[in-house]
């Protein structure tokens, strides 16, 4: 299934894509795409609904982040060897973990807002993993059973905040609008192998990133298992698994986003995003 959320920010409603690719409204069946709905039983209940009989979602309706009620968004740094190389860093001996504030999460086509004082706002197409049920001390052999599905993420990053000021990466990753997520939560049964997905990102129509989840250093199963040794993972939590090479800071000369730019990105089978870059009006 391909699930989504639609409507005004803060008022998103649940939706499902029918067999013909028409967006349908799930209001009345579930309150949101989140919580217990993401477990195996909840997803099985949704699969039994006659999607073609549901009300259509009007064309042009805003899409929100594809999952609601996210308690934490965990990101993995330098998880592609070639991206580590372009960053001038060694491949880490264990996954690098940092958090992106949940207030950064937004719809897949919402604008990227350049924060006040931004000098080096960058792009990163990433595979997002949405957790479906409580996971703690999970063995790697069972880890994918805890995944509800997958989505496209753009781990937008302000590099000067991230790397040139004291402290942790989180402040360069958590500005409002820095977590576009969706358009769809694609359930795990539709993704035969999360380590075999092409991924790409364009800026103003120019291809910047062109990679595959096949080259991830630490795969999805390892990451879910690894993280569950240190913290409980809950339904709706998101793991953003790292980016292939081609980010702005790795180019010669470096290239960063400016107001008026357009970013388009996608992952095979998971859909596409499009964001216009704007100055934060606040």
For the stretch 118-153, pLDDT in tens is 999 999 999 999 999 999 999 999 999 999 999 999
Phi-psi region of 140 (alpha: psi -120 to 50; beta: other; left: phi over 0): alpha
3-class secondary structure, 13: strand
- Establish how many alpha carbons lie within 13 A of residue 73's alpha carbon, considering only the half-sphere containing its beta carbon: 28
What whole-number distance in Å separates Cα of residue 25 and Cα of residue 6? 8
**Separation CA 153–CA 210 (nearest Å):** 15
**pLDDT for residue 75:** 97
Does 32 score more than 90 pLDDT? Answer: yes
Give dist(CA 101, CA 73) in Å, integer.
7
Output the CA–CA distances (angstroms, integers) from residue 92 to 108, 176, 216, 217, 255, in the order listed.
Answer: 30, 28, 12, 9, 25
Torsion of CA 8, 11, 12, 14, to 10 degrees: -140
Q: pTM of the entire structure?
A: 0.96
- pLDDT of 282 strictly over 90: no
Tell me how far apart the alpha carbons of residues 249 and 253 are, in angstroms, rounded to a whole number. Answer: 8
Residue-wise pLDDT tens digits, 86-98: 777 788 899 999 9
Enumerate the β-bridge partners of residue 238. 73, 130
Written as six digits, the tokens of 12 are 């998103």
Domain ranges of the chain: 65-279
Under DSSP, is residue 43 helix (H, G, I), strand (E, B) or coil? helix
The top-level CATH class assigned to 65-279 is alpha beta
């Amino acid at each position: 299934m391909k699930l989504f959320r639609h409507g005004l920010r803060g008022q998103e409603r649940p939706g499902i894509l029918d067999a013909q690719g028409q967006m349908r409204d799930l209001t009345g069946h579930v309150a949101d795409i989140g919580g217990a709905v993401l477990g195996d039983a909840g997803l099985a209940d949704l699969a039994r609904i006659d999607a073609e009989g549901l009300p259509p979602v009007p064309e042009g309706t805003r899409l929100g982040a594809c999952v609601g009620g996210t308690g934490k968004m965990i990101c993995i740094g330098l998880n592609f060897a070639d991206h580590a190389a372009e960053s001038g860093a060694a491949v880490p001996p264990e996954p690098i973990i940092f958090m992106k504030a949940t207030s950064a999460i937004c719809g897949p086509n919402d604008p990227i807002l350049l924060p006040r004082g931004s000098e080096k706002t960058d792009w990163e197409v990433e595979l997002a993993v949405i957790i479906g049920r409580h996971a703690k001390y999970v063995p790697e052999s069972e880890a994918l059973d805890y995944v509800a599905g997958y989505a496209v993420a753009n781990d937008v990053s302000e590099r000067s905040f991230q790397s040139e000021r004291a402290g942790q990466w989180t402040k360069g990753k958590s500005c409002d609008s820095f977590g576009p997520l969706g358009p769809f939560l694609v359930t795990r049964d539709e993704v035969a192998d999360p380590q075999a997905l092409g991924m790409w990102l364009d800026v103003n129509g120019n291809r910047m990133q062109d990679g595959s989840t096949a080259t991830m250093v630490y795969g999805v199963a390892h990451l879910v298992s690894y993280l569950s040794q240190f913290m409980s993972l809950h339904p709706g939590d998101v793991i953003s698994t790292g980016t292939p090479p081609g980010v702005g800071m790795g180019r010669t000369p470096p290239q960063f986003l400016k107001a008026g730019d357009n970013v388009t990105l996608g992952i095979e089978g998971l859909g596409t995003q499009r964001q216009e870059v704007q100055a934060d009006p606040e």
